[in-house]
Amino acid sequence: MSLVGNLAELGLGDILQIVSLGRKTGVLSICSAGRECTVFFRQGDVVSASLSDNPLSVSDPLFSIREQIENIIFSLFEWGEGTFRFQVMEFDALVASAGTDQMRFMLEQGLNPQFLALEGTRILDELRHNASKNSVRTFLEQSADDDVLHTDRWDASEVARQRSGYRLIMVDDDRPTLHTMYEALSEAGFNVEAFERTEDTLIRVDSLFRSGERPIVLIDLIMPKMDGSGVLGGLELLELLHNNFKELQLIIFRDYTYSEAEEAIRTLGYPIVAKPKSNELAVRAVVDRFVAAVTKEIILT
């Protein structure tokens, strides 16, 4: 398979979708206004990228290698014109074409192209909406500066130290999602306990509270109530904790928007964080954003 064309006729988002759905291994080359970009795919996932005027660096002060690759892809959405060519090849041939230097920046776990397409489109739409003259790269650098992991107030070692001092009680009736979030928050340094039922959560919170400890409770908005009815069990639990444990820091997380319930939560004064959707649990960038958002609410609030 060889896919050749013009970006004006087939956009980058469409190209990423085609390669992803076909689970193809190969190299995408894009040329526009004297700039060149090469994107490497393995079984449909992006594993590396190279941009002629913005090479990857192991010493970038803002972004990890994974984030640099993401940002290269996002920047390509600004290329409204140009030519592209996707060439399918065996992985060994792909590695050989990448060269020794580029191999240093090859990810073991690739990036989901469908996520990259959605996020790249969102960023570009936001820039256009704000009529900003900034490039995607500048936008992302500014976002990283504002992120909890890259602020003047909290350097990485300080964040890690701070995280270790917090006990998180997390409840979500969806076991795969709960497991992913538990693993991610634990790897980030938090002391995490996970529960699937409201009743078990209340018992554990009460036990800790009586012993003088004040855990931070993360609650999934959509789960059954204690009597088994309805779907706003998270709101029910939030109200119970709010009424009985005034000193606790509570955070609601949700994968989809529920306006009426969210208005009630914000009226009580509690933050809402987006969690990974079920089809995003394997997308590391999405999970990392969830961890960063939780960290920001806990440490900087």
**CATH for 194:** 3.40.50.2300
Burial 155-184 (b: 16+ CB within 10 A, else e): eeeebeebbeebebbbbbbbeebbebbbeb
In this structure, the answer to whether residues 98 and 160 fall within a common structural domain is no
C-alpha to C-alpha distances, 94 to 24, 40, 41, 195, nearest whole angstrom: 12, 8, 9, 44
Separation of CA 86 from chain center? 27
What type of residue sits at position 37?
C
Please give the chain's pLDDT, 301 residues, in tens. 568 999 988 889 889 988 988 889 999 999 998 899 999 999 999 999 988 877 776 665 566 788 889 889 998 998 888 999 999 999 888 888 777 677 778 888 888 888 888 888 877 777 776 655 566 666 665 665 555 444 433 444 445 555 667 899 999 999 999 999 999 999 888 899 999 999 999 999 999 998 999 999 999 999 999 988 888 999 999 999 999 998 899 999 998 878 888 889 989 999 999 998 888 888 888 888 898 888 888 865 5
Indicate the residue among 127, 146, 165 that finishes a domain: 146
Please, where are the H alpha helices in the chain?
12-21, 65-76, 91-103, 113-129, 136-146, 156-163, 175-187, 198-210, 233-244, 259-268, 284-299
In this structure, the answer to whether residues 206 and 191 fall within a common structural domain is yes
Indicate the residue among 98, 118, 146 that finishes a domain: 146
Angle at 127 between CA 119 and CA 70, to 5 degrees: 35
Provide the Cα torsion 225, 230, 235, 241; round to 10°: -20
Across the chain, mean pLDDT equals: 83
Angle at 295 between CA 293 and CA 297, to 5 degrees: 70
Sequential DSSP letters for 15-41: HHHHHHHTT--EEEEEEETTEEEEEEE
Contacts of 26 (CB under 8 A, 6+ apart): 1, 19, 41, 86, 87, 88, 89, 94
Quote the pLDDT of residue 155: 46
In this structure, the answer to whether residues 204 and 88 fall within a common structural domain is no
In this structure, the answer to whether residues 208 and 231 fall within a common structural domain is yes
In this structure, the answer to whether residues 201 and 234 fall within a common structural domain is yes
CA–CA dist 95, 186 (Å, integer): 34
In this structure, the answer to whether residues 245 and 108 fall within a common structural domain is no
In this structure, the answer to whether residues 63 and 129 fall within a common structural domain is yes
In this structure, the answer to whether residues 176 and 267 fall within a common structural domain is yes
Domain count, the chain: 2
Indicate the residue among 90, 113, 146 that finishes a domain: 146
pTM value is 0.51
In this structure, the answer to whether residues 39 and 67 fall within a common structural domain is yes
C-alpha to C-alpha distances, 75 to 49, 150, 226, nearest whole angstrom: 12, 21, 47
Cβ-based burial of 15 (10 A; exposed 0-12, middle 13-18, buried ≥19) = buried
Print the domain residue range for 54. Answer: 2-146
In this structure, the answer to whether residues 262 and 197 fall within a common structural domain is yes
In this structure, the answer to whether residues 193 and 214 fall within a common structural domain is yes
In this structure, the answer to whether residues 93 and 225 fall within a common structural domain is no
Quote the pLDDT of residue 153: 39
